[in-house]
A and B are shown apart, each in its own frame.
Chain A
């Protein structure tokens, strides 16, 4: 068994990653971090849309669809100023 252990140990990999790994990661991190700063309006619209969808879902799941017209009126009043 000792011989097998030695053979396996000798086959350990060397360096796997290329030199471009960190530069590529840096660029990708910049892209992630800059989205909310570079696109604040899209980001806000996205979150608002998600919130509205969540409220609709909750009303449907709790079988309070009777509140949907009130909720729609509320949204229209917000959008209409």
Chain B
């Protein structure tokens, strides 16, 4: 077992026994990744942070239900993803979400912002597998488990997402060149 994995297992065990500092340490190991998943769903940094907070609180109260052998990170990401999707589906019709394309780096140029805008315009069912693959490096199997869809569907959604991005971005650049 690698040192990192051993430390995480120990922290998980301590957190399971009610050790809040262990839980905080565990949180620090994966909080940005969890927040990014929430951002991929909602497209809004402030909302993503709120949902991330809620996900970790829920994880703390339910940590006894975390089965041995399941990595804490994957478990929290699933909790956060479900909370984010619930929020997104409840709110997207009521009030249009203020989609931000400023995702944390002040040096982002116009092309990057364009790409983000188009990514966020993709339907959620295409966007999430694409970003989990590209930005989080999850395997097809991991995405399939997280989103509860077959591996074949994951692959086809990523393929379609890339096709859509290709046609949109090439269309945009043609318009810009005109």
Contacts A7-B111, A11-B116 known; A21 to B53 CB distance under 8 Å? yes
The 8 Å CB contact of A21, one of B18, B52, B165, is: B52
Separation in Å of the B56 CB from the closest CB of chain A?
A: 6
Interface of A is mostly: helix
A16 touches B165 (CB 8 A): no
Separation in Å of the B62 CB from the closest CB of chain A?
A: 11
A24 at the interface (CB under 8 A from B): yes
- With a cutoff of 8 Å between Cβ atoms, the chain B residues found around residue A32 in the complex are 57, 60-61
- With a cutoff of 8 Å between Cβ atoms, the chain A residues found around residue B169 in the complex are 4, 7
Q: Which of A21-63 contact B (CB under 8 A)?
A: 21-22, 24-26, 28-30, 32-33
Separation in Å of the B174 CB from the closest CB of chain A?
A: 14
A16 touches B36 (CB 8 A): yes
B32 touches A8 (CB 8 A): no
B165 touches A22 (CB 8 A): no
Binds A, one of B6-14, B23-31, B64-72, B81-89: B23-31
**13 contacting pairs across A/B (C-beta < 8 A):** A4-B169, A8-B134, A11-B108, A12-B134, A13-B105, A14-B104, A15-B104, A17-B32, A17-B52, A21-B31, A22-B28, A29-B57, A33-B18
Q: Which of B95-121 contact A (CB under 8 A)?
A: 103-105, 108, 111-112, 115-116, 119
